[in-house]
Structure 1
Amino acid sequence: MPDTTTASVAAHSPAIETRSLDEILYPALEPYQTEHLDVGEGQRLYVEQSGNPHGTPVVFVHGGPGGGTSPWQRRFFDPAVYRIILFDQRGCGRSTPHAADGADLSVIDTARLVADMECIRERLGVERWLVFGGSWGSTLSLAYAEAHPEHVIGLVLRGIFLLRRWELDWYYNRGGAQNLFPDLFDAYESVLREHAPDELAGDHIETFHRLLNGSDPEVALRAALAWSAWEARTSHLLIPDEPVQASQQLAEHRRFALAFARIENHFFANAGFMRENQLIDEADRLGGIPGVIVQGRYDVVCPPRSAWELHRAWPQSQLTFVPNAGHGSNEAGIAAGLIEATDAFRALR
């Protein structure tokens, strides 16, 4: 368990990680239970459990919003020790209805997602659990923990995103990120130059919102692919080669992109359905909850400033800056830091 008995504003950087991702993660495993949980308003959430049914409960909170879960994400946890709970948030992954099918986004917001997590916890008979989330998953994890601290053993967070205006402008508008990836930002803006040239000087989030929810499905798809590609291509310190996709994979990619972009943009166009700086202002509610923050030093999607400010506002946290990583949880240094954290929390119940 991390030593969180004293407040600190220090952070550390581990040694450069040389192992492969497959060497770092726990072995692949299959769930022992899956279900679709009815949480009301026509929403049915995909929920799965794997690992030790009698172990320490841990809930994996995926990113996006709208990203969904993947089987490899079970591998951040020792399956002999943890009762591993993964779920797909409203509108994405294997939850229904799916945002790519035109699901009503008016019933998807932060308060409802927090309530959904409580519904899952109660359904599974969990009193307290470790909450694990990265990127938007860190946002939702913090919102949940600040609303229900009595049910949180600890927090393991990665790529801190506090959904403040400057963070949105930095990445989605003509803020700092475009200066680091001008070619990729140009590709991101290309759909706006074609379909909304008079709005290029305005708020890209609002313009994409109109295109993603307009009457032309082809324009919506192009906007979704541009939005999703910008994020995917800038999420790693070293940009990975893009795979050649077969027709079925391409169809799945388009479906993912539509849900991901529609839901994510829906949240960002509505300021995350939170007050500006809410998660920092209410960080005192985390008092007594130990936590580990793993942050890529060169994270362009969620700049390290947010991790530092959260750490300063939450004395029980430990902050690790991974020296050779960007945003992705599948970067070796990030994955190693997360495994180290979950291993340290194994004894908590």
Structure 2
Amino acid sequence: MPVETSLRTGHLRVADGNELYWEAVGNPQGPAVLWLHGGPGSGATAGHRRRIDPARQQSVTFDQRGCGRSRPLVTERLDLLDTNTTPAQIEDIEELREHLGIERWMVTGASWGTTLALAYAQAHPERVTGLGLFAVTTTSTAEVEWITESMGRVFPEEWELFRDSVDRLPGERVVDAYARSLRDADVQVRDRAAAAWGRWEDVHVSLGPGWEPDPRWHTPPTRDVLATLVTHYWSRSGFGGDQIPGRMPRLAGIPGVLIHGRRDISGPAVTAWQLHRAWPGSELVILDEGHGGPRSAAELERAIAAIAT
């Protein structure tokens, strides 16, 4: 009998009043590949469906808590924001895996999705057949400091505008001021902070070949969801990002490919390089791209074909 490979979708109720949108495509009996989107808060797209052989593999993704087609949106329930953490999302992933009846899967992701993928794999290495990651970050304190403070040395004009677009308390970091402003009771304060954050996001990913402004950063309510979740996670170093490098031995024996753009100034290649050195058997691919791009996507497809067998 022919294998049913068409798109399957649904919603899964998880903790703290959240309902996650998920989708799967390809062979339900084949090796599974999970895609974790970036942001946090960008939501999943249809791109994951093209990275597999649908007759042989299946691809799964979902909109993470508070964004995309999951409900409620973070901007609708700011009172739930403190329950939106990396450990909570790891539990969401496990609930989705069990809901779909998947024993083990390859975990893939980009940008923030690589942080979540690494944290999940370190928490549940027995459930991971391999990792395929591009635009690699661990959302560490040092990485957040670079992207929100030190990168002003590269873009001084834009950074000064970014810094001065929110009111800061004495000694308060820029990222903390934005996180606080995006939880403000005054909607005008939140709107101003979200717009300024979006402008800065466009600046620091602008050096890649073929770069164009990202419409998500200029289109409410998507912009507001993104800015709220990004600043929430970044101001807290990804709820454990500083611990990821020291936990790389937990991935021993798990194959992985780390793909990164040399021109990715918002996330310098040193993070991917250090993780590679701490992860025996991993592969590091450095490309002449920015924060992701078509060559990174092609390398991810190659990794999926090799690992998800």
TM-score by shorter chain over 0.5: yes
Deviation at 1:263, TM superposition (A): 1.1
Q: Would the alpha carbon gap of residues 184 and 79 (structure 1) be closer, same or farther in structure 2, given more than 3 Å must change?
A: farther
Aligned to 2:244: 279
Aligned-pair distance for 1:36?
0.9
Distance 1:41 1:222 in 2: 29
Root mean square deviation, CA, Å: 2.2
Conserved? CA contact 2:259–2:285, under 8 Å: yes
Write the letter of the residue equivalent to 1:325. Answer: E
Q: Does the Cα contact within 8 Å between 1:100 and 1:256 map onto a contact in 2?
A: no
Q: Aligned equivalents of 2:153 and 2:179: distance in 1?
A: 23
CA distance in 2: counterparts of 1:303 and 1:286, whole angstroms: 23
- For structure 2, the 5+ residue unaligned runs are none
* Structure 2 partner of 1:240: 211
1:344 aligns with 2:306: yes
Name the aligned partner's letter for residue 98 of structure 2: E
State the one-letter code of the partner of 1:327.
Answer: H
Specify the alignment match of 2:165 in structure 1. Answer: 191
Q: Pairwise mapping of residues 196-235 of structure 1 onto structure 2 (< 5 A)?
A: 196=167, 202-235=172-205
Alignment partner for residue 154 of structure 1, among 120, 127, 130?
130
Offset of 1:198 from its aligned partner?
6.8
Contact 2:33 2:308 (8 Å CA) reproduced: no
Cross-structure match for 2:35: 60
Deviations 1:199-249 (A, max 9, x none): 6x7410111122111121122012112213322343251363448x7xxx9
Alignment partner of 1:86: what SS? strand
Aligned residue number for residue 19 of structure 2: 44
CA distance in 2, matches of 1:181, 1:53: 47
Aligned partner of 1:106 in structure 2 is 82
Letter matched to residue 57 of structure 1: A
2-side partners of 1:340 and 1:72: how far apart?
Answer: 15
How far is the alpha carbon of 1:58 from its aligned partner?
0.6
Work out whether 1:266 is the aligned partner of 2:240: no
Measured in 2, the distance between the counterparts of 1:284 and 1:241 equals 38
Structure 2 SS opposite 1:37: strand
> 2:51, 2:255 → 1: CA distance?
18
* 3-state DSSP of counterpart to 1:282: helix
Partner SS, residue 154 of structure 1? strand
Question: 1:225·1:254 contact (CA, 8 Å) conserved in 2?
Answer: no
Equivalent residue number for residue 97 of structure 2: 121
CA 1:221–1:241: 2 relative to 1, 3 Å: same
C-alpha contact (below 8 Å) 1:31/1:48 kept by paired residues: no
Distance in 2 separating the partners of 1:242 and 1:126: 38
Identity %: 37
Q: Are residue 326 (structure 1) and residue 297 (structure 2) matched?
A: no
How far the C-alpha of 1:250 sits from its partner, in A, is 9.3
What does residue 57 of structure 2 align with?
82
1:190 to partner: Cα distance: 4.5
Aligned residue type for 1:182: P
1:333 is displaced (CA, Å) by 1.9
Q: Does 1:168 align with 2:132?
A: no
Alpha-carbon contact 1:127-1:151 (below 8 Å) kept: yes
Question: Could you say if the C-alpha distance between residues 221 and 90 of structure 1 is closer, same or farther in structure 2, counting changes exceeding 3 Å?
Answer: same
Q: CA deviation at 1:69?
A: 0.7
Q: CA deviation at 1:335?
A: 1.6
Gaps spanning 5+ residues in structure 1: where? 1-29
Deviation, structure 1 residue 89: 0.7
In 1, Cα distance between equivalents of 2:16 and 2:272: 34
| Alpha-carbon distance between aligned partners in 2 of 1:136 and 1:153, rounded to the nearest angstrom | 20
The 1:33/1:269 distance shift into structure 2, 3 A limit, reads same
The 2-side partners of 1:313 and 1:166 are apart by 18
Shift of 1:64: 1.2
Give TM-score scaled by structure 1 length: 0.81
Q: Distance in 2 between matches of 1:302 and 1:34?
A: 33
- Tell me how far 1:183 sits from its aligned partner: 4.0
